[in-house]
Amino acid sequence: MCISFLITINVLNAQECLNVDYKLRGYFYVGTSLRDTMALGGHYQDSNGPKKVIPRIDTISTPGKFQIVVKSDSLIGFSDKVQGFKVFIINKSQSTVQLPAQDSRLYLTRQVFHKNKWQDIEYLPNSWCGNSYHSVFIKPNEFWDLQAPCLNGKVNTKFRFKLNADNGIAKNPNDITNYYSNEFYGSFNPSQLEKEEGHVPQGIMDPYDN
């Protein structure tokens, strides 16, 4: 156990926060507790499904609420070379929550507080294929266990995550449902407010070009 612990520490020490000059593409993929019977079908289905709430999640969530909880002090490896932290989507409400998705990717992006307003520094690519669009579901007393990369840049500020729960379906601005995480601190580069990471389609079965 001691050897395993030391290996984990060494791996985390070898990883670094991302220092980039562009908006990151969305990276939160989830599975679902219920099948979307209205979807066309044929979309990518992720295996990271909701889990039953455990005591550790109980201590960081609020009874009766659906919420996004960021634990920026809970360090993990986002990838081989990039350090990350935990993000939890927790449903402690009494209802099953339905959320829009593209090929299992949630409409969940990071925002930065810069020049006295919240601004996006991540974006969601758009699929040209109608089969990509569907809903995912999370039942009461379930949670998604997610991870995000930490960022490093020239400007110190605060961040939050925004979850769009209607994907622009609401025609009245007052009906738009967005959920926001707790705020946390870090740094970023101002160029992340403008330029997008971009994407080159990986074959005819890849419906994304941004």
The answer to whether position 66 is within a domain reads yes
The answer to whether 182 touches 161, Cβ cutoff 8 Å, is no
* Number of domains the chain contains: 1
pLDDT tens track for 60-79: 999 999 999 999 999 999 99
The answer to whether position 54 is within a domain reads yes
The answer to whether 72 touches 41, Cβ cutoff 8 Å, is no
pLDDT tens track for 80-126: 999 999 999 999 999 999 999 999 999 999 999 999 999 999 999 98
Name the more confident of 165 and 88: 88
Tell me the mean pLDDT in the region 142-170: 90
* Structural domain boundaries enclosing 99: 2-193
- The pTM assigned to this predicted structure is 0.87
How confident is the model at residue 4, as a pLDDT? Answer: 34
**Taking 70 as the threshold, does the pLDDT of residue 143 lie above it?**
yes
The answer to whether position 208 is within a domain reads no
Q: How far is CA 144 from CA 75, 80, 112, 196, in A?
A: 17, 22, 23, 27
The answer to whether position 198 is within a domain reads no
